[in-house]
Amino acid sequence: NAGVTQTPKFQVLKTGQSMTLQCAQDMNHEYMSWYRQDPGMGLRLIHYSVGAGITDQGEVPNGYNVSRSTTEDFPLRLLSAAPSQTSVYFCASGLAGGTYNEQFFGPGTRLTVL
């Protein structure tokens, strides 16, 4: 099993450009989420999904869109990139519900917006 995969690993955008960060998992997990990691701060939840067709906002959703058409894939879209979106982005997946579910993280995408 590949686990959680993310592409690309690195990306440089100009302000105003759009792009999609890809995330896929092969563990049949219902729950998938996107976090951003900034220096000196903990990971912050952007969007999450508890199953195909179901998405919801996290702590910092502005400027990002998501969709979940399949169990395996959970892409994150930046509609009009801003320098404030320069960050490292992590996708994670796990079993949904319950109180004690491990989350599995992808390797991360380092995004720079100029």
Residues 114/16, Cβ–Cβ less than 8 Å: no
- CB nearer another protein, residue 36 or residue 85: 36
Stretches 13-21, 28-36, 62-70, 77-85: which one binds another protein (CB under 8 A)? Answer: 28-36
Smallest gap from Cβ 42 to another protein, in A, equals: 3
Nearer to another protein, 63 or 108 (CB): 108
Burial of 100 (0-12, 13-18, 19+ CB in 10 A): exposed
Query: With respect to another protein, which residue has the nearer C-beta, 27 or 50?
Result: 50
Residues β-bridged to residue 90: 35
Rule CB under 8 A: which of 47-66 touch another protein? Answer: 48, 50, 58
* 34/75 Cα distance (integer angstroms): 9
Biggest distance spanned by C-alpha atoms of the chain = 41
Q: Does 14 bind another protein (CB under 8 A)?
A: no
Kind plus residue range of the DSSP H or E element containing 33: strand 31-37
| Number of neighbouring beta carbons within 10 Å of residue 75 | 16
Tell me: does residue 97 bind another protein (CB under 8 A): yes
Chain residues in the site for another protein (CB under 8 A): 31, 33, 35, 40-45, 48, 50, 58, 90, 92, 94, 96-108
